[in-house]
A and B are shown apart, each in its own frame.
Chain A
C-alpha cells in the first residue's frame, strides 16, 4: 500500500477536532510542568478555547462527504458531529464552572483539566467509533478518566468512596460489555466493523428467529451502555457517585458522559443489531419505564441537592430513551434536540448549585430556604433551570419534552408517553419544591447558611467564568425554547444527513409495515 492511498484510506482529517482537543491537553500538561503553579491561571482558558475551536472545526466538517476514516474505524457523519459537539461544549462549560471550585478546594487545577480533556476525548471518539476495538478503547478512556475525576478530592472520604464504587461497578459493566462484543466478534465470524457485523448477523439469522447468542450479545452490550447513561437497573452507582464527586465532575458526568452513551447506543444498535430490532426495543422499553418511574419517584425523597439532581438525571435519561424506542427519523432528532437542551439546562442548574456551595459550603435543599432575599440572581437562575428541567413552558425544556413525547405518541407508544407525562408531573413537584424553598420563605424562616450568606462578589479569581457560564446557560435555557428552530433544524439535519440512520429507518419501517400486513392478514 503506497503512502497517498494509505492516507486517503486513513482520512485522518476527520478526527481533526479530536486532535485539537488533544493538542490542548498536551499544552496544558506540558506548560503546567514547565511553568509551574502559576500556569493554572491561564491553562483553563487554553483548554476552553481548544474545545471551542474544536466545536467550530466540527461545524466545518458538517457536509463532509468522506466521513469514513481509519479504514472504517471511525465515522465522522453528521450524527457523530452533533454528539461530539455536545460533549465538547459540555466539557467547555464544565471547565468554566470548575475553576473556582478546584481552586477553593486547594487541589491542582491543571491536572484536573487534563483529565477532563481526556474524558472528553474518549467521549468524542466514542461518538464516532465504528468498530469494536475503537469503541472499547474510547469507552475505557472515558471511564477511567471519569473514575479519576470522581476521586479527585482525595482528602474527602466521600470522594474516595465514590471513586471506588464507580470503579468497581464500572469495571463489572465494562466486563459485561466486553463479553458482549466478544460474542459479536464470534457470531459474525471475526468481524470487528459494525457494518460487517450487522450484515453477518442478518445473513446468519435469515428470516427465522434470532439465535439466543445474538440476544445475549445484545443485552450484554446494552448493559454496558445503560451503565453509562445510568438507566435503571444499572444506575445504582449514580446517587453515590454524584454525591461524593466534585460538583463540576457531576455536571460533566450527567451531560457529556451521558451524551456519549447515547451516541454509542444509537450507532451500535442501529448498525450492528438491525436484526434484533424488536428485542432491543423491548429492552429499552423496560429500561425507560424503570428509569422514569424510579428516577422521578425516588427524587421526591431526596434532601441533598446533588442526589436530587442525580435521580432527576436518571429520570431524564428515561425520557430520552423514548426517542430511541420510537426509532423514527423524528425520534432520533428529538433525542438530539433534548440532549442539546438538557446540556444547557442541566449545566445551568449545576452552575447554580456550585455557586451556592462555594458560598455556603452545603448542598442540602433545606439550606436553600430564603435564598431569594440574599441572592436574587442565583435564585432566578436556579429556578429557571429547574423549571426547564421540569418542563414548564415557555422554558426550553418544555419544548424538548413536548417534541419527545410527541414523537413517541406518533410512533404509537401511547402507554410510554402517558407514563412519561405522569412522571414528568411528579418531577415538576420536586423541582418546584426547591424553588418554593428559595422563594416563598419569610425572612425568619431563612436557613443558617443563607443567614450568613457572604456578600456577592464577582471579582474574586475564578468567579467571572462562573458568572459567564451562569448567565449564558440561563439565557439559552429561557430562550432556546421560544427560538428553537435553529436547534431543531440542526437535530433534524443531523439525522437526515446520516446515511446509516436513513437506511435503518427505511428498513425498519418496511419491516413494520410488513408485520402490520401480517397481523392484518
Chain B
C-alpha cells in the first residue's frame, strides 16, 4: 500500500492534465477543439474518475489504520528561508479528497446534460477540471504557503466560472463582486500567514501551533498580537466560506451556471474555509478569543442566512442563503471546538446541498423549456408549482435533500446538525439557542421552497405574472445600478416570449445525465449520516484534532459515555422545531390556511428587512462602493490634474506660464536636465541633513 501513497500526488494532477489538454486545444485550435464536445467530456470525466478511485483507496487505507503520510521536497531555499512543497495524506485530507472527487465527478456528469446547448461546453469542462485540480491540491497541502497558492487558484477558477456567461451584465458584476470580496479576505489571510511566520518561523500548522503556545507562555509575543494574527487568518475563511460580513458575494455568484453553484458554491470551495479552520486548529486552540469570534460569527451568519432565505423568490438565491446559513453552522462548530462535528456537517452538507443545487438546476432546465432562456423567469419560484407531476425524479430527490437539511432523522443532516447543536449547548447555551431557532427557520424556508416549487398548480403559463416579474426585475435592476446607467424603458419587456412560443406548455423531466447524479447523490444524503450517529460515532473517531486539545472543552463526547437522555432531549428539541417550521410552511404555502402576504403586510419592516437581505448590500453600496467610486473619481481627477501635471512637469509650467509648448518643440529636454541637476542638489542636501 505504500506505493499508492508515493503516487498520491497524482490525484490533483489528473484533472490538471485534463484541463491543460482542453485549454491548449482551445487556444491552438479554437473551432476544432470546441466542436470536439463528447470526447472532451469523456476525457475529463475519466481522468477525474481515476482520481476518485485513488482517493477512495487512500481513504480506505486510512480507515484501516494506515499512518498519515507526508512527502515534501525542498522547493525554494534562500539562506535560512526554506519553502517546502509536497503533500500530506491524513484522515482529514483523505476524507476531503473523497468528498471533492465524488461531488465533482457527479457534477461533471450532470454538466453534460445541463450545458448541452451551450457554445462554451468545452471551455466549461476545462475550467471545471482546473477547479477540481486546485481544490484537490488545496486539501492535500501540508503547509500554509501551498494552501494559500491553491486558495488563490480556487478563487480564480470561481471567478472564471461565475463570470462564465460574461456577456450577461449580472454575471460580470457578480464575478467582480466575488473577486473583490475574496480579495479582502485573502489579503487578511496573507497578512496573517506572514505574521505567523514572522513570529514562529514556520508555515507548518502543528509547528506554528506549538511555537505559538510556547511564545505565548513565555510572553515573547502579546496575546493581543496573536489574536490579531488569528483573526487575520480567519478573514480568509470568512470570505471564502461566506461568513458575515463578507458573505455578500455568494448569492450573487449564483449567476454562474448551476453545476458551478452546486460544485463550488455549495459543496467544495466554500467549505475550503471550514477546512482551513480545521487545519489551523492547532493554532487557534491556543487563542480562545479567536475561537469565540469564530463561533459567534458562525452563529450569527447561520441566523442571518436563514432569515434572508425566508423571503427569496429566486430558487438559487434561496439555496445560496441556506448555504451561507449551513456554513455558519460549520464555522460555529469549529469555533466551539467541535472539530469532528463541523467536518461531519461539511461532509453531509456537501452531498445534500450539491443534490439540492443540481435539483434546482434540473428545475430551471425544465422551466426554461416553458418560459425561455431568461434567468429572471426560469428561476423564480412564483412561476413554478406542481412540478412533481412533470419531474418526478427531481422532485423526489429534492424532497430528500430538503428533509436532510431540515434535520429530520434518519437523513444525513440530522446527525451532523444534532452533533453541532449538542456541542454548542455544551460550550455556550446562547449559541445553541441561536442555532436552534435557525434550525426552525431552515425547516420553514426549505419546505416553503419545496411546496412552491413542486406542489400545487403549475403557474408558469400565467402571462400577467410573467410581465409582473419582468417589470419587478427591471425595477430592481435599475435601482441597483443607479440612475443614469441604463434607462428602464430601454430594456425590452418581452424578450423571452418569442422563445417561449417554440416550447411546449409544461416542463419536462431532465435527461438521464442530469437525473442520474441526483439519484446517486440521494444515497449519501440519506445514509451518510449513519456513520456519525451519537451512539456509534465512527466519524468522530476517525476525524479528530491533530493534537490533544487540552485547553478547550471538547463538546463532543467520544461515544464511550453516550447519554441517551441527553441525546433524546437535544435531538427531540431540534426535530420539534423543525416540525413546527415544516407545518408552518405547509399551512402557508400548500393548504393556504395562512396567507403569507398578509403577514408580510402586517410586518412590512421585518419583511423588507429580510427581503432586502438586511440591507447589507445597500450598506455596502453606500459605504464602500459609492465611497470607493468617489475615491476613484477623486483619484481620476487627481490623476488628470495633478499626476499628469507632475509627469509632464513642463505641462505644469506651461499651465503656469501660459506658453504653448508642444510635444515636438524643444524645451523639454533642458527641463529634464534641470530636474536631474535639481534632484542631485536635493539629494545631497537631504542626505547631508539626515546623515
Interface residues of A (CB under 8 A from B): 157, 161, 164-165, 168-169, 172-173, 176, 209-210, 212, 215-216, 218-220, 222-223, 227, 233-234, 236-237, 239-240, 276, 278-279, 282-283, 286, 294, 297-298, 300-301, 329-330, 333-334, 337, 376-377, 380, 392-394, 399, 403, 406, 409, 440, 442, 482, 484-485, 488-489, 491-492
Contacts and interface: CB of A to CB of B under 8 A. Distances in A.
Size category of the binding interface on chain B = 35 or more
Contacts of A233: 675-676, 679
Given A176-B676, A237-B672, A489-B77, A222 B683 contact: yes
Interface string B145-156: 000110011000
B647 interface: yes
Contacts, number: 126
Contacts of A168: 669-670, 672-673
A329 B639 CA distance: 39
A440 B630 CA distance: 25
Given A172-B673, A210-B691, A440-B172, A301 B81 contact: no
Between A212, A380, A442, the greatest number of chain B beta carbons within 10 A of the residue's beta carbon is seen for A380
Interface in B166-184: 166-167, 172
B564 interface: no
Contacts of B153: 393-394
A427 to B, nearest CB: 15
B677 A172 contact: yes
B26 A488 contact: no
A319 B691 CA distance: 24
Contact of B676 (A172, A240, A294, A297): A172
B680 A440 contact: no
B621 interface: no
Nearest to A376: B27
20 contacts: A165-B672, A169-B669, A172-B676, A172-B677, A219-B680, A223-B676, A233-B675, A236-B675, A278-B691, A282-B691, A294-B647, A298-B647, A334-B78, A337-B78, A377-B28, A380-B27, A393-B149, A440-B166, A488-B77, A489-B77
Given A176-B676, A212-B688, A222-B683, A485 B27 contact: no
A333 B78 contact: yes
B141 to A, nearest CB: 13
Contacts of B669: 164-165, 168-169
Interface string B637-649: 0011001101100
Contacts of A393: 148-149, 152-153
Instruction: Give 5 nearest A-B pairs by CB, closest first.
Output: A376-B27, A236-B672, A233-B679, A279-B691, A172-B673
Interface string B72-84: 0011111101000
A173 B149 CA distance: 44
A227 B676 contact: yes
B149 to A, nearest CB: 5
Contacts of B657: none
Contacts of B27: 376-377, 380
Contacts of B167: 442
A495 to B, nearest CB: 9
B199 to A, nearest CB: 12
Given A169-B673, A233-B675, A488 B78 contact: yes
A399 B668 CA distance: 39
A492 B686 CA distance: 34
A223 B78 contact: no
A494 B687 CA distance: 31
A329 B643 contact: no
Nearest to A483: B75
A297 B688 CA distance: 29
A163 to B, nearest CB: 11
Contacts of B668: 165, 240
B683 A330 contact: no
Nearest to B194: A409
B691 A209 contact: yes
A276 B30 CA distance: 60
A177 B566 CA distance: 84
Nearest to A240: B668
A219 B684 contact: yes
Contacts of A176: 676-677, 680
Given A172-B676, A492-B79, A485 B664 contact: no
The A interface, classified by DSSP as helix, strand, loop or mixed, is: helix
Given A377-B28, A393-B148, 15 more contacts: A164-B669, A168-B670, A169-B669, A173-B676, A215-B688, A216-B684, A218-B687, A223-B676, A282-B687, A286-B683, A294-B647, A330-B79, A485-B75, A485-B76, A492-B79
Contacts of A283: 683, 686-687
Contacts of B163: 440
A52 to B, nearest CB: 27
A345 to B, nearest CB: 17
Contact of B686 (A157, A239, A282, A409): A282
B691 A169 contact: no
Given A300-B639, A440-B166, A330 B687 contact: no
A375 B596 CA distance: 56
A333 B79 contact: yes
A377 B28 CA distance: 7
Contact of B643 (A157, A240, A279, A297): A297
B603 interface: no
Interface in B122-156: 148-149, 152-153
A223 B166 CA distance: 49
A333 B81 CA distance: 12
A39 to B, nearest CB: 35
B7 interface: no
B664 A161 contact: yes
Nearest to B650: A236
A485 B74 contact: yes
B267 to A, nearest CB: 25
Interface string B581-604: 000000000000000000000000
A333 to B, nearest CB: 6
A164 B669 CA distance: 9
A169 B672 CA distance: 7
B679 A223 contact: yes
Contact of A399 (B76, B688, B690): B76
Given A215-B688, A485-B76, A234 B81 contact: no
Contacts of A278: 691
Contacts of A218: 687
Contacts of B152: 392-393
Nearest to B640: A301
A376 B26 contact: yes
B13 to A, nearest CB: 13
Nearest to A220: B680
A288 to B, nearest CB: 13
A240 B649 CA distance: 14
Nearest to B668: A165
A403 B76 CA distance: 10
A389 B526 CA distance: 50
Contacts of B644: 301
Contacts of B78: 330, 333-334, 337, 403, 488, 491-492
A278 B689 CA distance: 12
Nearest to A298: B647
Contacts of B683: 219, 222-223, 283, 286
B640 to A, nearest CB: 8
Contacts of A394: 149, 153
Nearest to B167: A442
A216 B680 CA distance: 9
Nearest to B663: A161
Contact of A286 (B149, B172, B686, B691): B686
Contacts of B28: 376-377
